[in-house]
Amino acid sequence: EVQLLESGGGLVQPGGSLRLSCAASGFNFSNHAMSWVRQAPGKGLEWVSSFSGGGGTTYYADSVKGRFTVSRDNSKDTLYLQMNRLRSEDTALYYCAKCSGWRPYDAFDIWGQGAMVTVSS
């Protein structure tokens, strides 16, 4: 069974940093692109970042570019999201999502349960 388990969420002050992790199991992790999608309380879904499979190219939404860094450790089947210079508008439930293939246009097909990030003083 494919599973994604996010961790690392919490309360952080504006300007602070946090690192999310997503532990994957049940599929060949290195062969798949992986993504982060967030959902602010009571709002819709917003794509945040993706890391392609294979050679590994990273992509970011304009709203997080320069502040967030996505990475992956294929030896540990784990995806990460390093979030720096956090703002109140980054407050959201962050979902890790497996993509259906390795390419940047392979959409999200399996979702984790999410990790809550709250940015507040």
Residues in touch with other proteins (CB under 8 A) = 35, 37, 44-47, 50, 52, 57-59, 61, 95, 100, 104-114
Sheet containing 3-7, strands listed edge to edge, beginning at the edge strand earlier in sequence: 3-7, 18-25, 78-83, 68-73
CB of 77 to other proteins, least distance (A): 19
Which is closer to other proteins, CB of 84 or CB of 104?
Answer: 104
CB of 36 to other proteins, least distance (A): 11
Query: What separation in angstroms does the CA of 102 have from each of 8, 19, 22, 56, 90?
Result: 25, 24, 17, 9, 27
- The residue assigned the tokens 């199991």 is 25
Q: Contact at 8 Å (CB) between 16 and 121?
A: no
CB of 97 to other proteins, least distance (A): 8
Which is closer to other proteins, CB of 6 or CB of 13?
Answer: 6
